[in-house]
Amino acid sequence: MRLFKFFKHHINLTLASILFLSAILAFSSGLTAKGTSSNNLSFSKEHQSTCIKIIAALERYHYLGKKLDNEMSANILKRYLKRLDPSKQLFTVEDINHFSKRRYRYDDDLKKGKLSHGFEVFNLYLVRSKQRFLYILNCIDTWEQDLNFTKEEAIVIDDDAKDWQRDLAALKVLWKKDLKNYILSLRLDGQDNKKITETLNKTYPNRLKRLSQINASDAFQILMNTVTSSFDPHTQFFPPRVSEDFDIHMSLSLEGIGAVLQNEYEYTKVVRLIPKGPADKSNLLMPGDKIIGVGQGKTGDIKDTIGQRIDNVVKLIRGPKNTYVRLKIIPASAKKSSSTKTISILREKVKLEEQSAKKKIVTINLDNNNYKIGIIEIPNFYIDFNAYHNGNKDYKSTTKDVKRLLKELRKEKIDGLIVDLRDNGGGSLKEASQLTGLFLKTGPTVQIKTKFRISRLYDEDPAMEYNGPLIVLIDRMSASASEIFAGAIKDYNRGIIVGTRSFGKGTVQELQPLGKGKLKLTSAKFYRISGKSTQNLGIVPDIQYPQIYKVEDTGESSLEGALPWDTTVKTSYDAYQDISSSLTILRQKHEKRSFSDPGLQYLKKRLELMSKLDEETQLSLNEQERRDRKEKIEQHELEIENSFLVASNKTPIKEISQRETRIDDYKDILLKETQMVMADFINTSKDMDYRW
């Protein structure tokens, strides 16, 4: 009973809701220096009091049991500077040296509610940001005469490769390059000079206006969330206004485009797509994409959103169903503003019935044998909590639906089963545990470790709803409850895990009231029954497929300061017969196919191109070189695309803009390969005489 009470606060925290909390968080556009401004922001006594309470709660309740010390103090300053000035376009070497004098004092200051030094940094950020925007605004009217796009010049796009500049004059050089790069991106998007000038005259005055609207509460929120993120990236403070927004958003139906967003410095990044939501079904948006503009309708002007508060961006994206929203994005495969595109998505209500588990049957011929394979797709781990708590026996849940589907598949006499958990961001922990039980006799399913103890969930029902060959298909977006299920199947040797490394969300958060706001902090960690954590590393498949999502921009490991993978005690459980000998054979057969299968080759080549582009640390500011670069990339993409089309007996295309291959096509390629792996597994299972 005590365990249930512990989990009633966490049991329905899907990855989506956890990351949506992150999404309502801080923002930054770029600022500061030891400037003196008549509009300096000042903290209040309430801010000081709240700061003291936040530090006390973090030290007392956070899973790690950390104390603010000199090491964390220096880390807080480093994170704070990066959050405010990620591109190193605002602070100088002199500023950094000045701020660094107090790098070991932030811990003592914050415990006492002293915020003066944090606000000093923020006020300089505001001054420098204003200087930057005014400098660029002063360049707009004469940019056609002043900017030389034939000059051999480059801009560094890898922030980690940048150095702090020596003085304001050096910063202005960066600002000018940044403006040139932006204009070049607009030219490559097809805008003429007149349209570009109009765009600049809209964009930068709006950014300057947004800068002027930043207040002391915003500054306090950013400072405090720099502190909380020093514990881990899911630990966050929500001031009263944001706390109210969160309550409102969480009570609304999923109407909009069905995307989970979060702030990444000045950008709004897509973290994941709600399965079967408008964005997911459109095949136009994917995790890792960065939204830099939003327009209403099919033809509405795109409003610049760089540096905007994420809750404001969310408001622009949301809207009445059956209306279009246009998004200007930097694709996940691109770096910074090296490439952009604009997409249109029809808003609609996410239909919950479409998120229910579904089945289908395919027949695979292998070595003149036909194998009937059942496939169950589970978009998330759901349960009707109201009906469940009211004692309604007909409540809807993942486990009940899958149990019914398994019964139907048994009647069809399937030879093997694939459970497809791709893009499943999690959901009810109870459901993950009970679903695991459908494929086991009895035993533990997951371990939950707090600061003080370890608890476990068990399958106590000896019945097995399915006891044949089993494959679990996962990808980078399979998270939380999905990882618990896949991890248990792997540890019990009950089936084979195929796909790509999962998300790595292995922590539990809880909300605590804090004055008029809220504090979300990490209070526990999930562990597999083998003692291995699902955190950070996620679940590593037995057979690995080419990546669809960019690992560097998605998943827990992409979050700065994410808690590490580790182990705890192994619990007692009875694993089934070792299947490693079968795995060796299946890997060999998969590798052989990967060299000849057109689909797998296609995905590998796309991944290689994306990796090559990701290695770039700078971009030319010479227009012809940029056009040549774009043409070369598009030609490479065209060759990859046509190679796949020809191998698939389809008509080649003349331009990459004609490409119709979308994310669903990538997924189909991997599902077909999984069916072949299952056919091999069924063959091997006969030879090995496995008993589950």
Q: Which residues are known catalytic residues?
A: 480, 491, 505
**φ, ψ for residue 362 (rounded to 5)?**
-125, 155
CA 371/CA 633 separation, integer angstroms = 42
CA 476/CA 517 separation, integer angstroms = 33
CA 574/CA 491 separation, integer angstroms = 10
577 Cβ contact partners less than 8 Å away, ≥ 6 residues apart: 493, 688, 690, 691
Compute and round to an integer the Cα radius of gyration of the chain: 26
Helix (H) or strand (E) segment spanning residue 237? strand 236-238
- Burial class of residue 413 in the structure, from the number of CB atoms within 10 Å of its CB (0-12 exposed, 13-18 middle, 19+ buried): exposed
Beta bridge partners of 348: 256
Residue 161's nearest CA partner among 611, 617, 616 is 617
Six-digit token pair at 690? 């496995």
Q: What is the rounded (10 degree) CA torsion for 333, 472, 487, 688?
A: -130
**216 C-beta neighbours (distance < 10 Å), count:** 16
Six-digit token pair at 290? 């960065």
453 Cβ contact partners less than 8 Å away, ≥ 6 residues apart: none
Tallying the residues shown for the chain, one arrives at 692
CB 642 within 8 A of CB 652: yes
In angstroms, the first-to-last Cα distance of the chain is 31
- Burial class of residue 515 in the structure, from the number of CB atoms within 10 Å of its CB (0-12 exposed, 13-18 middle, 19+ buried): middle
CA 180/CA 561 separation, integer angstroms = 34
Alpha-helical segments (H) within 85-192 = 93-100, 106-111, 116-140, 143-146, 168-188
Q: What letter would DSSP give residue 414?
A: -
E strands, 543-633, in order: 543-544, 618-620
Alpha-helical segments (H) within 162-309 = 168-188, 193-212, 216-229, 240-251, 278-282
Residue 590's nearest CA partner among 665, 663, 679 is 679
> Whose structure tokens read 């809220």?
518
Give Dmax over CA atoms of the chain in angstroms: 82
